[in-house]
């Protein structure tokens, strides 16, 4: 792909505004996500069920948006679409300041959900262009670390703010979030715009993407990986506190451990993996997930409270290594497996797998958790086994998965 705004060198200093935009975006998200339900309950007369229904409806209606904009990315480049996503989310959060009815929350939440889907659909296209071959795992790893630390910092701000519990504090959180997306929009102006080179073959459009039998296993693998990622927010804390009866701080410790490890260890680990075959590293990542799930299951058989806490934290460490190892490689394989002229559509399809996982994970994981410890953790072990199998499959048929990490 060409860069319409000038030549690109994969230098953090050269693209510091893009990195800054990612930081600001993630801090904004980290500020609001933990208090989203609390905000609407504090500022409207709606019930918990009504708010939940509005947010779920918005999430489901946003699912088709990512694939729809894939063609726009291929035609006009990722930058203007990224900026449009920033504006949509700024508008959505501004709308939260005046909503009072279920349908109004649904509309504003749809703008935010659609904006997130569009953002992450374009994100991979931009990173692939900014970082040349051989450096993409490091870039995806770096930005993943930055996002994770941003979420944590935003969550810390929220914890302090919510301790006051006033209406004005909740409003301030939303205002800050809206301003964060406007700031990201401005910073994105300095990001080079990625477009396919003139004359590249984009014939076939979505039909060509959906007929690419080598890429569909890549998308299926992304779905398995994403399901495991959602377990951190949905299943692990509830299991530790409500099922095992561990102290409430255990859930916070798991989140902190995950955040610190991803934020500070991921870059080092990706560097140490240089030269390894990507598909084999993906298999190792799923093995780490599976080991973590088995440790969570084992904690249910431990009588001593302190020992159970230790087993859960050990499981969280293994789980987090799965995220650290697999995250940057999964993103790189998905991006490099797509032809330049259709990368927007390909990555939009890949992002759809993440959106689908996000839509079904709350109901599926909570349902399994209510059935019992064995049901949820053995099911997730099965998901990891399927993910490892798909990683092996793409390692045989997808050149990007056969490549070595850090290879040009």
Is the model's pLDDT at 384 over the cut of 90? yes
Write b or e for each residue in 200-216: b if 16 or more Cβ atoms lie within 10 A of its Cβ, otherwise e. Answer: eebeeebebbeebeebe
- 384, 377 contact by CB (below 8 A): no
- 322, 296 contact by CB (below 8 A): no
Q: Is 2 helix (H, G, I), strand (E, B) or coil?
A: strand
Query: What percent of the chain stands above pLDDT 70?
Result: 90
pLDDT digits (tens, 9 = 90+) for 211-226: 888 999 999 999 999 9
Residue 3 binned pLDDT confidence (cut-offs 50, 70, 90): very low
**Opening angle at CA 22, ends 17 and 28, nearest 5:** 125
Sequence-distant (≥ 6) Cβ neighbours of residue 396 within 8 angstroms: 279, 402
Query: What percent of the chain stands above pLDDT 90?
Result: 27
**In this structure, what token pair is assigned to residue 290?**
């599976």
Nearest partner of 285 among 368, 222, 352, 360, judged by Cα: 222
pLDDT digits (tens, 9 = 90+) for 248-302: 888 878 888 888 888 888 888 888 888 899 999 999 999 999 999 999 999 998 8
pLDDT at residue 24 in the model? 79
Is the model's pLDDT at 390 over the cut of 90? yes
pLDDT digits (tens, 9 = 90+) for 101-152: 989 999 999 998 888 888 877 777 888 777 766 778 888 887 878 777 777 7
Residue 204 binned pLDDT confidence (cut-offs 50, 70, 90): low
């Amino acid at each position: 792909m060409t860069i319409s705004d000038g030549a690109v060198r994969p230098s953090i200093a050269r693209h510091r505004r893009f990195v800054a935009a990612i930081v600001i975006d993630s801090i904004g998200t980290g500020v609001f996500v933990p208090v989203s339900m609390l905000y609407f309950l504090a500022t409207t007369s709606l019930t918990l069920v009504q708010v939940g229904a509005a947010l779920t409806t918005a999430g489901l209606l946003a699912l088709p948006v990512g694939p729809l904009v894939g063609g726009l990315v291929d035609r006009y480049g990722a930058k203007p679409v990224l900026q449009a996503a920033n504006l949509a989310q700024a508008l959505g959060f501004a709308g939260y300041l005046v909503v009072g009815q279920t349908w109004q929350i649904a509309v504003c939440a749809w703008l935010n959900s659609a904006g997130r889907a569009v953002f992450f659909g374009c994100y991979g296209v931009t990173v692939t262009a900014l970082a040349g071959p051989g450096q993409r795992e490091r870039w995806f790893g770096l930005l993943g670390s930055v996002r994770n630390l941003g979420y944590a910092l935003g969550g810390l701000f929220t914890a302090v703010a919510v301790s006051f519990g006033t209406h004005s504090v909740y409003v301030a959180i939303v205002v800050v979030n809206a301003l964060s997306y406007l700031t990201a929009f401005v910073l994105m102006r300095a990001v080079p715009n990625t477009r396919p080179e003139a004359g590249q073959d984009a014939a076939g459009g979505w039909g060509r993407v959906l007929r690419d039998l080598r890429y569909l296993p890549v998308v299926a693998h992304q779905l398995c990986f994403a399901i495991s990622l959602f377990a951190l927010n949905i299943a692990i804390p509830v299991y530790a506190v409500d099922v095992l009866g561990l102290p409430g701080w255990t859930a916070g410790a798991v989140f902190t451990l995950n955040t610190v490890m991803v934020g500070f260890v991921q870059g080092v680990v990706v560097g140490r993996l240089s030269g390894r075959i990507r598909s084999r590293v993906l298999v190792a990542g799923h093995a780490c997930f599976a080991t973590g799930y088995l440790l969570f299951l084992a904690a249910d058989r431990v009588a001593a409270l302190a020992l159970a806490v230790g087993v859960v934290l050990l499981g969280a460490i293994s789980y987090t290594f799965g995220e650290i190892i697999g995250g940057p490689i999964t993103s790189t394989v998905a991006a490099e497996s797509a032809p330049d002229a259709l990368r927007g559509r390909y990555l939009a399809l890949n992002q759809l797998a993440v959106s689908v996982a996000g839509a079904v994970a709350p109901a599926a994981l909570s349902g399994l958790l209510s059935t019992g410890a064995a049901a949820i953790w053995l099911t997730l072990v099965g998901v990891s086994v399927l993910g490892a199998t798909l990683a092996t499959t793409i390692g045989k048929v997808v050149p990007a998965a056969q490549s070595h990490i850090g290879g040009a």
